[in-house]
Amino acid sequence: MPDAAGERRAVAGERERFARAALTRVIEPGDEHGGRWLREFGAQGLMARLTAAEHEEAGLTGATARRLAGYRIRAAGADPDRDLAAVASVGGRFICPGDQEWPTQLDDLRDARPIGLWVRGRADLRKWALRSVAVVGARACTPYGAHMAATLGSGLAERGWVVVSGAAYGVDGSAHRGTLAAGGATVAVLACGVDVVYPRGHAELIGRIAEQGLVIGELAPGDHPTPSRFVLRNRVIAALTRGTVVIEAEYRSGSLVTARSAQKLGRYTMGVPGPATSGLSAGVHELLRGEGVLVTDAAEVAELVGDIGDLAPDRRGPVLPRDLLDPVSARVLEAMPARGAADGGRLARAAGTTTDETLGRLYELHSLGFVERHGDGWHLTRGAIRGSNARRGGP
Amino acid sequence: MPDAAGERRAVAGERERFARAALTRVIEPGDEHGGRWLREFGAQGLMARLTAAEHEEAGLTGATARRLAGYRIRAAGADPDRDLAAVASVGGRFICPGDQEWPTQLDDLRDARPIGLWVRGRADLRKWALRSVAVVGARACTPYGAHMAATLGSGLAERGWVVVSGAAYGVDGSAHRGTLAAGGATVAVLACGVDVVYPRGHAELIGRIAEQGLVIGELAPGDHPTPSRFVLRNRVIAALTRGTVVIEAEYRSGSLVTARSAQKLGRYTMGVPGPATSGLSAGVHELLRGEGVLVTDAAEVAELVGDIGDLAPDRRGPVLPRDLLDPVSARVLEAMPARGAADGGRLARAAGTTTDETLGRLYELHSLGFVERHGDGWHLTRGAIRGSNARRGGP
C-alpha cells in the first residue's frame, strides 16, 4: 500500500508529465530557449506562465518577447488530454525524463533534450537504446546503398543490436526492412507525430515497425514534418544510439548532420565507403577523411560500438536481478533453454505470448545482459547461467 | 683542369661503381646480409672477397656459408662490362649511392637499400623523385579501378607530380597511361632488368615510359622477375616517393606490401575507397581502417603529400642557383615566358629540343622550384621570377 507521501509524489509526477505532454505542442524540437525556461520553471510552472492572463514579460527584448508570444498562442491551443488519448488510441504512450523508460542518453543534449517522447510499440525504449546503433543515409540512394543498409540492418540484428533510423525512403527504409527481415529490433524516429505516416509510401513499413519495434518522436500526435524538424530529429537519433553509420550521403546532407551530432556527443561515427566516382558517397568520404571510422560490415560496426566497457553488460552478466524483471520478460527468460539456443517462435510458444512481443523482450533481455543472439538463435549468457545457478543453489 | 687527387677520386669512384654494377648480379634485391657486408667491406672489397681463390669463411655457420657460396658462384659469372654495355645499348645507365642522380630517399632503406639502379630515360631520377607519388593496385582490377588510376595519374601530372608505379597490368598500367596521356612524368620500377619487357603485353607502354619518363630497376640487364623480386621491388616504390596511393587491392596483396613499406618509412599511405561489396577494395578498406588516409582525387593526394615543408621548394622559390643548371634545363628555363603560361611543345621549339626532353626538364625544374604546372600550362614560380629579377637587376 503506497503511503501518502508516495501518492503525492506520484500525483506531482503525473501533473509534470501532463504539462510536458502539453509543451511538446508549444516548444519546437531542439529549441534551447524553451529548454532553458523548462529547466528554470519546471513544466507545470512554464505552462502556468504561458497560459496566465497577465503577461510578466513587459521588460523583455524584442526576439524573446516574440518567442514568448508564439509560445503563448500555441499554449492556448494545447490539449494534452486529447493528445494523450490520440496516442493511446494507436497503442502508444508518452514518456518523459524521470520515467523508468526514459533513455537517459538523451540528457547529453542538455537544453536541447526532448521535452518528452511519444512512443508506439511494446518494447522498453530505455533498454533497447542501451544496445542500439543508428543506420542513416540518402533518400535517393543507389541499389548499392540500399543493399548495404539492408545487410547492415540484418547483420546488426543477428548480433543482438537494435537498429535506429528515420523511416525515410532509401537507406533508412532499407535499414529498417533488413532488420525486420532478420527478426530484429528496430526504432523509427519520426520528425512528425507518431500517428502521422510520413512518408506516405512507408505506411506499411511504419506500421510493421510499430508492431515489431518502436516508432518514436518528439512531436505531438497529428503534427507534420517540416525541414527544420527533419534536421532536429537527427540529434535524437544521434544521442539515442552508441554510434551512427552513414551509408551514402551527398555533401551537406541530413545524414552528415546526424553524424556530426553523434561526434559532438562523443558517440562513434562510422561510414560505409563507396566508389570515389559516386556523388552519393562524397559526403561519406568527407566524413571518413575526418573523424569517421570506415566500416564495411556489421561485424566491424559491432566491434567498434561494443567496445564500451561500462555499456556492455553482457560481458559480465546481467545488470538487473531476475526478480525485478516484469512478468512477460521473466516468462521469456524462463523459457530459455539452459544449454543451446532457441528461436523467437519457440520461445514465444513456451512463454505463452506472440513472437513480436517475445522478440521485443529478448532485445531488452539482451541489453540487460541475460541473453545473446547469434544468427537466428538466442541463448543465455554465461552470467545469466551463473546467476541462475547461484539463485537455485543459494540460501 | 682536374688535379691529380681529383682524378684519383674519380677513378676510385668509377671502380666502386663498377663493383656495385657487378654486385647487382650477385646480391638479390633487399638482401640485408649482403647489404651489411657491402657496408662493411665496400663494393670493391666485397667483390674482391667473393672472387678470391682462397676462402676465408671456414669458421662461418651453415646458413651464412651457404649464402656466401651462392654469392661466389654468381660473382664468378658477373660481367659488369657486358651489363653496362647492354644497358648503354638501350640508352640506359647505372647509378649508385654517391652519384649526383642518386635519390637519397632510398637511403632510408638502410641495409636493404638498392646496391644501385639501372635506369633508362632522359630525366634526372633524383630531381623527379623529390616530387613523386606512387600509385599502385590490383593487376586484375575492375573498370572502376582502372578509371581511378588513370584519373589520378593525369590529375597528379597536371599538378606537377611525378607518378611512380610498377608497370604491371591493371592499376599500374592505367596510372602510367593516365600520366603519359596528360603529358606527365612517370617512373616505372621494374622487378627485372630494364631491358626486359615484363609483362610482355606492356612492351609498347614500357617503351613509351622509357622515352617520356624513366624505367628503373635493381636487377642487372637480362634478369627476369620472380615472386620475391616483385615483393621486394615494392620497397623501392615506397621509399622513392613521398606517399603511396593504393587503388583496389585484395587482402594480402602486393600493393598492401608497398603501402605498409611506405608506412614504415614514414611516407604517406593513402587508399581510394570502393564498394564495401567488392573483394578488390577489401584490402584498401583494411588499410583505411588503420593508418591509411582516404583519398578520392588527385587534389586530395597533392594536398596531403605536398604538406611537407622542407620538401616543397616551390613555395619558397628555387633551391638551386640558375647558374648550376645543366645547359638543356637552362635553355628550357630561359624559354619560359616572364608572365603567363606556355605548353611543352612551344617551350620545346623555343629551347631547340624535343617535347619529351622538355617535359622531363620541366618536371625537374618543378622539383627544383623554378616552374609550376597548372593543367596543360607551365609558368615560372614567384620565387623564380624574383630570382631572375634580382639577377638581372643585381651588381
pLDDT recorded at residue A322: 79
Q: Which residues of A touch B (CB under 8 A)?
A: 144, 147-148, 272-277, 281-282, 285, 288-289, 293-297, 300
CB < 8 Å to A297, chain B? 276
pLDDT digits (tens, 9 = 90+) for A325-376: 888 999 999 999 988 899 989 999 999 999 988 988 999 898 888 898 888 8
CB < 8 Å to B269, chain A? none
Q: Domain residues for B378?
A: 312-393
Are A267 and A216 in the same domain?
yes
Evaluate whether A141 touches A247 at the Cβ level (below 8 Å).
yes
Q: Determine how β-strand A377-380 pairs with β-strand A371-374.
A: antiparallel
Q: Which residue of A has its CA nearest to B287?
A: A294
Are A265 and A368 in the same domain?
no
pLDDT recorded at residue B389: 57
> Given B272, B285, B293, which is nearest A276 (Cβ)?
B272
Asked if omega into B199 is within 30° of 0 (cis), the reply is yes
Write down the mean pLDDT value for chain A.
90
Cα angle B62-B64-B70, degrees, rounded to a multiple of 5: 105
pLDDT, greater one: B61 or A118:
A118
Residues whose CB is less than 8 angstroms from the CB of residue B19 and which lie 6 or more positions away in sequence, other chains included: B42, B43, B44, B46, B47, B80
| Boundary (domain end) residue, out of A303, A332, A366 | A303
Residue B369: pLDDT band by 50, 70, 90 thresholds?
Answer: confident
Are A296 and A356 in the same domain?
no
Are B114 and B209 in the same domain?
yes
> Given B285, B296, B297, which is nearest A294 (Cβ)?
B285
Are B67 and B195 in the same domain?
no
Nearest CA distance, A289 vs chain B (angstrom): 6
Q: In Å, how far are B72, B87, B220 from B81, measured between CA atoms?
A: 18, 10, 12
Nearest CA distance, B250 vs chain A (angstrom): 14
Q: What percent of chain B has pLDDT over 90?
A: 75
pLDDT recorded at residue A394: 37
Diameter of chain B measured on Cα atoms? 70
C-alpha span between A153 and A141 (Å, rounded): 16
Nearest CA distance, B275 vs chain A (angstrom): 4
Are A119 and A212 in the same domain?
yes
pLDDT digits (tens, 9 = 90+) for A29-43: 999 999 999 999 999
Can you tell me whether residue B198 is helix, strand or coil?
coil
pLDDT recorded at residue B9: 80
Evaluate whether B128 touches B40 at the Cβ level (below 8 Å).
no
Residue B309: pLDDT band by 50, 70, 90 thresholds?
Answer: very low
CB < 8 Å to A289, chain B? 293-295, 300
> Given A147, A276, A300, which is nearest B273 (Cβ)?
A276
Beta bridge partners of B376: none
CB contact under 8 A, A273 and B277: no
- How many other β-carbons are positioned within 10 Å of the β-carbon of residue A3? 8
Diameter of chain A measured on Cα atoms? 70
The residue type at A160: G
CB < 8 Å to A295, chain B? 276, 289
Evaluate whether B131 touches B162 at the Cβ level (below 8 Å).
yes
| Boundary (domain end) residue, out of B291, B307, B323 | B307
Nearest CA distance, A285 vs chain B (angstrom): 7
pLDDT digits (tens, 9 = 90+) for A169-197: 999 999 999 999 999 999 999 999 999 99
pLDDT recorded at residue A67: 87
Are A21 and A127 in the same domain?
no
In a domain, A383, yes or no: yes
Are B240 and B373 in the same domain?
no
Candidates B148, B277, B301: best to mutate against A (most CBs of A within 10 A) is B277
Are A318 and A297 in the same domain?
no
Are B228 and B336 in the same domain?
no
Q: Which residue of B has its CA nearest to A144?
A: B275
Residue B218: pLDDT band by 50, 70, 90 thresholds?
Answer: very high
> Given A147, A275, A285, which is nearest B144 (Cβ)?
A275
Are B270 and B328 in the same domain?
no
Are A233 and A299 in the same domain?
yes
Mean pLDDT, rounded, for A116-127: 96
**C-alpha torsion A291→A292→A293→A296, nearest 10:** -160
C-alpha span between B206 and B200 (Å, rounded): 10
**What's the pTM?**
0.85
- Of B75, B115, B122, B123, the C-alpha closest to B95 is B115
| B126's grid cell | 633524383
Q: Determine how β-strand A92-95 pairs with β-strand A243-247.
A: unpaired
The residue type at A57: E
DSSP string across A106-150? GGGGGGGS-S-EEEESSS-HHHHHHTEEEEEE-TT--HHHHHHHH
Do the interacting molecules here have an ipTM over 0.85? no
In a domain, B99, yes or no: no
If one counts the domains in chain B, the total is: 3
CB < 8 Å to B289, chain A? 293-295, 300
Mean pLDDT, rounded, for A307-335: 69
CATH number at residue B247: 3.40.50.450
CB contact under 8 A, A289 and B300: yes
The residue type at A175: A
Q: In Å, how far are A106, A259, A386, B206 from A33, measured between CA atoms?
A: 17, 24, 50, 68
CATH number at residue A357: 1.10.10.10
pLDDT recorded at residue A3: 74
